[in-house]
Amino acid sequence: MRLPPEHEERLIVRAQAEPEAFGELYDQYFPQIYRYVASRVRSADLAEDITSEVFFKALRAIGRYRPSGHPFSAWLYQIAVNTITDHYRSRKRAEDSLESGPELASEGVAVEDEVAARMGLDQIWQAIESLPEQQRTAMTLKYSADLPLAEIGRIMGKSEGAVKLLVFRGTATLRAALRPLPVEAETHHG
Amino acid sequence: MARFLPWHKRQPAPPEGVDAEMWAILRTRDGRSDPELVRAAAEIRARLQAQPPAEPDPEFRARLRANLMREARATGKSRVPPRRLALPFFTTLGIAGVAALAVVVASVVAFPLARGQVNVQAAVAGHHDIPVTQAIRISFNRPMDETAVTRGLRISPAVSYQASWPNSKTLVISPAHGLAPNVGYVVTIPQPDIKAQNGALAPTGLVIPFGTGSVPSTPQGQIPTVVSVTHVAVTSGVTSLSYMPDGALMVLSSSTPVAVPASAQSPSPSPSPTATPGQSAAPGLSFGTLYVLSPSLRTVAFKAEGAVASPDSQEIAYWTPGVAGTLELDVVAANGSGTPETLASSAESNPGLAWLDNGDLIFAAAGQLRKVSLDGAITTVDPTVNVDPSGFFTVSPSAQALFASPGGVPTIYSLPGGSANPLPNLVGGPAWAANGNDLAYVAATAGGEAIDLTSDLGTRITAVLSAPAGVRLSGLSFDPTGTYLTYVTTAPGQPSQLNAVDVQSKASGPVGTLTAVSNPVWAPSGNQLSALVAVSGTTTQDVSSLLLSGGPPPSPAGDPAAAAALATASDLAQFQVTAGPAAEADISALLAPGTSLAPSVLLPGRFDRFYAVSTTPTAPGSTSFSVALNLVRDATSSAGPAYLPETVTVQTAGTSPLISNIAPGTLTPVPTGPLVVSVAATTSSIGTTVFAIHFDSDLNPLTVGAQSISLSVGGQVVSGAQFNYSALTRTETVTMNGLPAGAVTLTVSPPLADIDNTLMQSAYQVVLQPQPVSAG
């Protein structure tokens, strides 16, 4: 999904000089950023709000963006991660009762199949939501957005090793939460 | 060409459903793994990858693109919304409209929740004692169309402000010169402008009424004078002296301070020999023990640096040496109980530290500005701003701007994602004013050192003062209102001295007579400052607090009888405002014998505040004074903002001043446009008469002068006056030499207008007997 690096860089330089060119970057990266945000917040209304905020922040800061060899999307993900974190923290602090829109629904899937699939999915998302913030971010970027560890490290401001540890711990917690293992299985490995 | 590894370095292939990176995470060094863990990872990945992607609403996608492009076209330059245009919304809304809308708001403005609607909150709403330095923060429940909201924003009385958006859901209104003290305000935004980025609207327009508290002040152009000096404590090796928001003094030092009892204010005792040695674990930092000096001396933390108190003064955060040369950010209870909790770490040599109003701490780490909450969650404030905190580094009190020194060039940034302007001549300071906008610093000039000021994030720089050649400047500190800047001058071979400058009028001078002074800091009350004074012949330092002169602007300084009359009339007004009819006995006690108490004086407790407009003798040389008061009802009342003028006559000839007449006027709606809130007139020994007229609004300076202010004596208009308007203090100073003897009638009238060009609604007139001002 990434643009060829040279083309992306040209596009960024253009967007810095003439902000309207930012529209092309928006067209390219809107779908994946929206999907990532939607996978984190699980509400269509909120996903729209946060995606708006991410792209407005990016537009206002594009003038100072400096290519670093990482894809432009890493920068957008970084802004998205911070915006989502800020949202949850402010909601927690202020007990802000933001209304929830309808849950995201997919199209073209039989209702009964979707219900069956969502039972497992909801369980996984519920378990992911209960993880500490850093683990939650690393898990969703790895499992859902399918980003490389190095890119996740760039987004989260952490080393690749630290991201590995977060994903390992998150996976272990999810395993325990989703499928409690029999005692002998717990003691199987050394 | 394929590379072959020895057997012990070969990696087993990842199981099905697990990619190479996940496999690297899950297996141990010897290539083994927990099969259950691997299976769980594969299942999570499979299910999440199989999840149908969330598809955005195409309409939303197109609308957001259109909004982005609109902003790109509109604001290719400055990200900070400009000062609002003079639109007629508020003036046409009218007082009745404000009153009707005010019923909607309670202590917190909250619109009903409904899907797609905008919900608004403002903590200041309904409060009557908001500090004049406070920024007004308005929170929305969804990202807003910042241009529309800012365009519709109005404040009445008119205030020059900067509107900024720390994020798309928070609007911060920072008055350029603070709010006026003791004034009721209304912030309004019409409903069509309360628009979210997704097009959602608020159900009604926004009305936020609130009022400000009183603050003491010194007449403009005069430097505060020292009333008394208190020696608080003696210590040594002090690296930091600061006030907590509750007024307690906090000191970082290498020896235990010794409190100086009231009975022994001089000379200074010696510090305790049981000193905790200062330590330095990181370049540029010097660690000491943290003490709070009042209400009683207590030790709070060891090996501390950069200590800052929380907005509620309950906690103190500081840096302490961590592992491997890093610094740890610890927080401890300000009362000294409990153990410190580590919240974050930083490898920066100068990580800075500021405590924001929302409870977050802000600092630098890994070249970026980070925030940490008390629950330990760390976020990057703005990933687009990189800082190099190796040089000067500080954050404004409202975290709207960052001052750093990337590449050795001091630079001021707006946050988030705003402008960056260099301050190339900066060599010392810098000091932020409490409004978060004004930044003063020591600048290098061809002739030596100077103090420069920027109020708009470095776009424009104003010279405040220049030091004589060879004199060094240091210790910059703003008073809480941003009116005065204290600084220390050190001339070659001379002990350092404490000075202050009125940043608007540029008047400057020494504060007190103390020498060998350093680290001046202002108390939150604004009428006191503390500093370190080196004790001659020793290595110890005296923590000294200086009580400063001040008082409300109309206070007739230099005339004790007038001051007593004002105080008595103020007592009456206080009873009327707070107690109403229940204060009959209290009010009667203030009356001169034979004076009857009219029932109309016993107001029904429906006022929120009062202020004295003027105090003047009823005749030249008389001991009887006429005090003009306004009793004010804020817009928080369902009946709307209104004021009741009252004239109180006070006799001061006896042992205690007594009231001989109380004349309440008519309850009047607070008018649109500027309102005179106080007038004082003084005549110097050389015959110069100065009238200081204070307004509740920021004025359009082009409308202030001879065309709107006149003086007359004995019915004859006198000419030749000089006019000077101070935007900082909302004060017009009228100076007149050789004014004929007798009562002076001062008239203020349209075309005087505020910065929104709203004309003064009706002329204001007062008769004054200028008071002789005492020498010094």
Q: In this structure, which amino acid lies at residue B405?
A: S
Mark yes or no for CB contact B69/A20 under 8 Å: yes
Q: Which two structure tokens, joined as six digits, stand for A156?
A: 């989260």
Burial status of residue B531 (CB atoms within 10 A of its CB: 0-12, 13-18, 19 or more): buried
Note the ipTM here: 0.77
Cβ within 8 Å of residue A100, ≥6 positions away:
A43, A45, A46
Query: Measured at the alpha carbon of residue B482, what is the angle toward residues B476 and B483, in degrees to the nearest 5?
Result: 100
Judge whether A105 lies within some domain: no
- Whether residues A16 and A64 fall in one domain: yes
Helix or strand or coil: residue B604?
A: coil
**Count of structural domains, chain A:** 2
Radius of gyration of chain B (CA): 31
Whether B169 and chain A come into contact, CB under 8 Å, resolves to yes
- Whether residues A128 and A62 fall in one domain: no
Max mean pLDDT among B19-28, B50-59, B721-730, B745-754 falls in B745-754
Residue B555's alpha-carbon distances to A170, B508, B560, B561, B629, in angstroms, are 67, 22, 10, 11, 13
Higher pLDDT, B96 or B586: B586
Q: Distance between CA atoms of B31 and B579, rounded to whole angstroms?
A: 82
Whether B419 and chain A come into contact, CB under 8 Å, resolves to no
Q: Which two structure tokens, joined as six digits, stand for A81?
A: 């991660």
Least confident of A86-90, A171-175, B96-100: B96-100
Judge whether A189 lies within some domain: no
Q: In this structure, which amino acid lies at residue B668?
A: T
What is the per-residue pLDDT for B278?
29
Q: Which of B40, B139, B141 sits opposite A174 (nearest CB)?
A: B40
- Tens-digit pLDDT profile for residues B206-261: 889 898 876 544 455 567 777 667 777 888 888 888 888 777 889 888 777 776 65
Higher pLDDT, A154 or B273: A154
Residue of A nearest to B115 (CA): A99
Higher pLDDT, B139 or B550: B139
φ, ψ of residue B242 in degrees (nearest 5): -155, 160
Q: Single out the residue of B725, B716, B714, B715 nearest to residue B691, CA to CA.
A: B725
Residue B111 pLDDT exceeds 60: no
The whole-angstrom distance between A103's CA and the closest CA on chain B is 10
- Whether residues A13 and A79 fall in one domain: yes
Q: Single out the residue of B235, B310, B180 nearest to residue B543, CA to CA.
A: B235
Mark yes or no for CB contact A171/B198 under 8 Å: no
For residue A65, list chain B residues with Cβ-Cβ distance below 8 A: 384
Question: Concatenated DSSP letters for B562-619?
Answer: HHHHHHHHHHHHHHHHHTGGGGHHHHHTTBPTT----GGGS--S--SEEEEEEEEESS
Q: What is the mean pLDDT of residues B15-19?
A: 73
Q: Give the CA count within 13 Å in the CB-facing half-sphere of B185.
A: 30
Judge whether A186 lies within some domain: no
- Whether residues A81 and A133 fall in one domain: no
Q: Please name the residue that has the structure tokens 């920027």.
A: B454
Least confident of A5-14, B99-108, B429-438: B99-108
Mark yes or no for CB contact B25/A38 under 8 Å: no
DSSP B191: G
Higher pLDDT, B16 or B769: B769
Residue B282 pLDDT exceeds 90: no
Q: Single out the residue of B756, B732, B725 nearest to residue B746, CA to CA.
A: B732
Whether B77 and chain A come into contact, CB under 8 Å, resolves to no
Q: Which of A30, A39, A60 sits opposite B54 (nearest CB)?
A: A39
What is the per-residue pLDDT for B12?
60
Size of interface A-B (CB pairs under 8 A): 192
Q: Which two structure tokens, joined as six digits, stand for B179?
A: 């709010």
For residue B51, list chain A residues with Cβ-Cβ distance below 8 A: 39, 106, 117, 121, 144
Check if the beta carbon of residue B299 is closer than 8 Å to that of residue B235: no
Q: Which of A31, A101, A133 sits opposite B115 (nearest CB)?
A: A101
What is the per-residue pLDDT for B158?
92
CATH number of domain containing A128: 1.10.10.10
Q: Distance between CA atoms of B317 and B304, rounded to whole angstroms?
A: 9
φ, ψ of residue B453 in degrees (nearest 5): -135, 140
Residue of A nearest to B368 (CA): A157
- Whether residues A138 and A85 fall in one domain: no
- Whether residues A79 and A128 fall in one domain: no
Mark yes or no for CB contact A85/B379 under 8 Å: yes
- Tens-digit pLDDT profile for residues A12-69: 888 887 767 888 889 889 988 998 888 888 778 888 888 988 998 888 888 877 777 7
Max mean pLDDT among A11-15, B14-18, B763-767 falls in B763-767
The whole-angstrom distance between B456's CA and the closest CA on chain A is 19
- Whether residues A86 and A129 fall in one domain: no
Judge whether A101 lies within some domain: no
* Other beta carbons within 10 Å of B668: 12
- Whether residues A80 and A149 fall in one domain: no
Q: Distance between CA atoms of B210 and B199, rounded to whole angstroms?
A: 29
Radius of gyration of chain A (CA): 19
* Other beta carbons within 10 Å of A172: 17
Q: Which two structure tokens, joined as six digits, stand for B690?
A: 């100065």
The whole-angstrom distance between B90's CA and the closest CA on chain A is 30
Residue B687 pLDDT exceeds 80: no
Model confidence at B603, pLDDT cuts 50, 70, 90, reads confident
Least confident of A167-176, B95-104, B189-198: B95-104
Residue B566 pLDDT exceeds 50: yes
Q: Give the residues across from B443 on adjacent strands.
A: B426, B450
Percentage of the residues of chain B whose pLDDT score is greater than 90: 17
CATH number of domain containing A65: 1.10.1740.10
- Reported pTM: 0.45
Model confidence at A2, pLDDT cuts 50, 70, 90, reads low
The whole-angstrom distance between A4's CA and the closest CA on chain B is 23
Model confidence at B193, pLDDT cuts 50, 70, 90, reads very high
Alpha helices (runs of H) in B579-631, residue ranges in sequence order: 584-588
Least confident of B283-287, B303-307, B573-577, B648-652: B283-287
For residue A64, list chain B residues with Cβ-Cβ distance below 8 A: 384-385, 417, 420
Max mean pLDDT among A139-143, B177-181, B523-527 falls in A139-143
Q: Distance between CA atoms of B11 and B265, rounded to whole angstroms?
A: 78
Check if the beta carbon of residue B440 is closer than 8 Å to that of residue B455: no
For residue B358, list chain A residues with Cβ-Cβ distance below 8 A: 93
Residue B31 pLDDT exceeds 70: no
Q: Single out the residue of B523, B517, B511, B555 nearest to residue B228, CA to CA.
A: B511
Higher pLDDT, B58 or B8: B58
Check if the beta carbon of residue B486 is closer than 8 Å to that of residue B522: yes
Question: Concatenated DSSP letters for B7-22?
Answer: GGGPPPPPPTT--HHH
φ, ψ of residue A9 in degrees (nearest 5): -65, -40
Mark yes or no for CB contact A45/B115 under 8 Å: yes
Whether B377 and chain A come into contact, CB under 8 Å, resolves to yes
Q: Which of A23, A107, A117 sits opposite B65 (nearest CB)?
A: A23
Q: Please name the residue that has the structure tokens 């992911």.
A: A128
Residue B114 pLDDT exceeds 50: no
Q: Distance between CA atoms of B467 and A122, rounded to whole angstroms?
A: 69
Q: Give the CA count within 13 Å in the CB-facing half-sphere of B170.
A: 16
Check if the beta carbon of residue B613 is closer than 8 Å to that of residue B679: yes
Q: Single out the residue of B236, B298, B230, B736 nearest to residue B527, CA to CA.
A: B230
Burial status of residue B529 (CB atoms within 10 A of its CB: 0-12, 13-18, 19 or more): buried
The last residue of a domain, from among A44, A64, A95: A95
Residue B50 pLDDT exceeds 70: no
- Tens-digit pLDDT profile for residues B754-765: 998 999 998 999
- Whether residues A151 and A116 fall in one domain: yes
What is the per-residue pLDDT for B155?
93
Q: Distance between CA atoms of B657 and B624, rounded to whole angstroms?
A: 9
Task: Give the domain extent around A3.
Answer: 1-95
What is the per-residue pLDDT for A183?
36
- Tens-digit pLDDT profile for residues B324-354: 788 899 988 888 777 788 888 888 878 888 8
The last residue of a domain, from among A95, A124, A142: A95
Q: What is the mean pLDDT of residues B4-20?
A: 58
Check if the beta carbon of residue B477 is closer than 8 Å to that of residue B394: no
- Whether residues A91 and A115 fall in one domain: no
For residue B60, list chain A residues with Cβ-Cβ distance below 8 A: 48
Q: Give the CA count within 13 Å in the CB-facing half-sphere of B112.
A: 4
Check if the beta carbon of residue B290 is closer than 8 Å to that of residue B247: no
Q: Which of B47, B67, B380 sits opposite A82 (nearest CB)?
A: B380
What is the per-residue pLDDT for B109?
35
- Whether residues A64 and A9 fall in one domain: yes
Helix or strand or coil: residue B631?
A: strand
Whether the upstream peptide bond of residue B267 has omega within 30° of 0, thus cis, is yes
What is the per-residue pLDDT for B113?
30
Q: What is the mean pLDDT of residues B272-280?
A: 30
Residue of A nearest to B381 (CA): A82
Judge whether A104 lies within some domain: no
What is the per-residue pLDDT for B263?
45
Q: Which of B56, B377, B382 sits opposite A89 (nearest CB)?
A: B377
Q: In this structure, which amino acid lies at residue B269?
A: P
Residue of B nearest to A106 (CA): B52
Least confident of A124-128, B672-676, B744-748: A124-128
Q: Which two structure tokens, joined as six digits, stand for B16?
A: 């099905």
For residue B168, list chain A residues with Cβ-Cβ distance below 8 A: 52-53, 56-57
What is the per-residue pLDDT for A1?
53
- Tens-digit pLDDT profile for residues B404-435: 776 778 888 877 666 788 888 888 888 988 76
For residue A188, list chain B residues with Cβ-Cβ distance below 8 A: 34-36
Cβ within 8 Å of residue B128, ≥6 positions away:
B184, B210, B211, B213, B608, B609, B634, B636
Judge whether A188 lies within some domain: no
What is the per-residue pLDDT for B703?
92
DSSP A21: G
Selected residues 97-126 of chain B with any CB under 8 Å from a CB in chain A: 113-116, 119, 121
Q: Please name the residue that has the structure tokens 């309360």.
A: B194
Q: Which of A22, A23, A121 sits opposite B51 (nearest CB)?
A: A121
Mark yes or no for CB contact A185/B373 under 8 Å: no
Mark yes or no for CB contact A89/B56 under 8 Å: no
* Other beta carbons within 10 Å of B133: 24
For residue A26, list chain B residues with Cβ-Cβ distance below 8 A: 64-65, 68
For residues A2, A4, A7, A10, the Cα torsion angle rounded to the nearest 10 degrees is 70
For residue B36, list chain A residues with Cβ-Cβ distance below 8 A: 175, 179, 181, 185, 188
The whole-angstrom distance between A20's CA and the closest CA on chain B is 6
- Whether residues A38 and A127 fall in one domain: no
Q: Give the CA count within 13 Å in the CB-facing half-sphere of B662.
A: 26
- Tens-digit pLDDT profile for residues B570-584: 889 988 888 878 888
Q: Distance between CA atoms of B520 and B440, rounded to whole angstroms?
A: 15
- State which H helix or E strand residue B229 sits in: strand B226-236
Judge whether A79 lies within some domain: yes
Check if the beta carbon of residue B646 is closer than 8 Å to that of residue B586: no
What is the per-residue pLDDT for B465?
92
For residue B383, list chain A residues with Cβ-Cβ distance below 8 A: 75, 78-79, 82
- Tens-digit pLDDT profile for residues A81-121: 888 877 777 665 544 333 333 333 333 333 334 434 444 66
Q: What is the mean pLDDT of residues B727-740?
A: 80
Cα-to-chain-centroid distance, residue B662: 37
Q: Which of A168, A179, A181 sits opposite B25 (nearest CB)?
A: A168
Q: Distance between CA atoms of B169 and A26, rounded to whole angstroms?
A: 21
Judge whether A185 lies within some domain: no
Check if the beta carbon of residue A79 is closer than 8 Å to that of residue A58: yes
